[in-house]
Amino acid sequence: MLISVKTGQALCPAKAVLFDLDGTLVDTADDLGAALNHVLVKHGLPPLGTDLYRPVASHGAKGLLELGFGAALKEYPFTLLRNELLDYYQQHLTVHSQLFGGAAEFLPLLKAQDIRWGIVTNKPYKLAAAMLRQMSGMEDCRILLGGDSLHQRKPSPVPLWVAAHNIGVAAADCWYIGDAERDIEAANRAGMTSIIADYGFISESDTPELWGADCRVPHLMMLEAALTAR
């Protein structure tokens, strides 16, 4: 039985599950890293290895460019670099990306138990929607909100509230699963059960033990028994 470290009680059963995308449902690190390396090489800089770009893969174009260019980033037109990275990434969205963390087994389980699910990500909606179209196993997603879908984005709780309302479930009956501090902050502020995807893009400098999540899981299927437990 999974126990909430905040309440000391068993996790509330889920009537809906909302996910972050990068680092939670989909391992996008190598496609994002390839986009960064494309820009680096184009500007005469050495490419980075997966051990360097993987921990910041969910930090967006800005985080990736800061990693790759370092202090020299201020010498370049940021908008140009960002557009180069995103243009390349858009054309190579799912070359290496795949479901991970047990998602390939967990999503059908949700469908079998009639538990609705959706995605709330800070990834631009256009890219997230294209990824869902290109990957199998994502067909039952009931709501997708990107970082530009609303005026607010995580760590604001508003996107989570909008997603829950859209699929007809109270926030208190939703789980939100993510691999970043902003995910857990948004879930806690929204009044949802907050779950850290420990298998995601978490760096050595992160302190997930201080994020205030209800629980942490190294694999999504660890949540199977808690989904409908009473």
Residue 210 lies in a domain: yes
pLDDT tens digits, one per residue of 64-116 = 999 999 999 999 999 999 999 999 999 999 999 999 879 999 999 999 999 99
Domain boundary at 91, 114, 142, which? Answer: 91
| Range of the structural domain that residue 59 is part of | 29-91
CATH assignment of the domain containing 101 = 3.40.50.1000
Residue 230 lies in a domain: no
pLDDT tens digits, one per residue of 204-213 = 899 999 999 9
Q: Spot the catalytic one: 20, 31, 183, 214.
A: 20
Whether 112 and 215 map to the same domain: the answer is: yes
The full 3-state SS of 36-69, as one line of letters, equals: HHHHHHHCCCCCCCHHHHHHHCCCHHHHHHHHHH
Kindly report whether the peptide bond that precedes residue 46 is cis, defined as omega within 30 degrees of 0: no
Whether 76 and 34 map to the same domain: the answer is: yes
pTM of the model: 0.95
- Is 20 catalytic? The answer is yes
pLDDT tens digits, one per residue of 130-176 = 999 999 999 999 999 999 999 999 999 999 999 999 999 999 999 99
